[in-house]
Amino acid sequence: MKRLKANIISVNVGKPQTLSRGEKSVTSALEKTPAEGTIFLSRLNLAGDGQADLTNHGGEDKAVCVYAYDHYPFWEEELGQSLPLGAFGENLTVKGLVEEAVHIGDVFQWGEAQVQVSQPRVPCYKVGMRFGVKELPKLIAETGYTGFYMRVLKEGYVSADNPLQFVKRYSEISIAYVNHIYYEDRHNEEALKEISSIPELAAKWRESIQKQLA
């Protein structure tokens, strides 16, 4: 297997605050900013980070949100503006870990901590609110540039200076493949069964797929 390159561009954290566009306001932790120095990574999140909607965000299977810096040029051209680091509400802005390269269950060492890829990220309407582009979540899904989540296997201190060092691969199912089935081929029972059989897949994704199959 080709070695995964995982240089961290920034580590981003943020607490829930009011996000307003026009007459609409919601509480969101989408607006995150780069953090300096060493930060403690717990089973649930990075110190200084938080989630507003705990039904759809956060939890052990979604402790760390990751987005590829490789996609930023595309979105800057698409949106007609330069983007700040953490633009998509991700905790880690990384170079090289695109959806085609990362598989469900991939384990990485990050500083003292160890993390594991658990599921793709499903784009939320709040991303569209942030940039004033209502269709943005749909565009993100169509491109497959969704990013992904990681669970924490081992807690510890981390920083942007610590690269994500690939440790082990548990499945042959990439984030890109899961996105393809989820958004474009949802009636492919064989593929759905294959994805749901991966032990390292986030529990809520497995439950959702099994309900669909039933």
Alpha carbon of 20 to those of 131, 132, 141: distances in Å? Answer: 11, 10, 23
As a whole number of angstroms, the distance between CA 44 and CA 70 comes to: 26
Alpha carbon of 49 to those of 16, 27, 44: distances in Å? Answer: 9, 14, 10
- Euclidean distance between the first and the last CA atom of the chain, given in angstroms as a whole number: 35
| 3-state secondary structure (DSSP) of residue 181 | helix
Q: What is the pLDDT along the chain (214 residues), one digit of tens a residue?
A: 556 768 999 999 988 887 777 777 788 778 899 999 999 999 999 999 888 666 666 789 999 999 999 999 999 999 999 999 999 999 999 998 999 999 999 999 999 999 999 999 999 888 888 888 989 999 999 999 999 999 999 999 999 999 999 999 999 999 999 999 999 999 999 999 999 999 999 999 999 999 888 8
| 3-state secondary structure (DSSP) of residue 116 | strand
As given in the structure block, the two tokens for residue 21 are: 């566009």
> Which domains can be identified in the chain, with CATH numbers?
7-172 (2.40.33.20)
As given in the structure block, the two tokens for residue 183 are: 């958004």
Query: Which helix (H) or strand (E) is 211 found in, with range?
Result: helix 203-213
> pLDDT at position 55, please?
67
φ, ψ at 160 (rounded to 5°): -65, -20
Secondary structure (DSSP) of 25-88: EEEE----EE--S-EEE-SS-BTT---S-TTTS-SGGGSEEEEEGGGHHHHHHHHTS---TTTT
> pLDDT at position 115, please?
98
As a whole number of angstroms, the distance between CA 153 and CA 110 comes to: 11
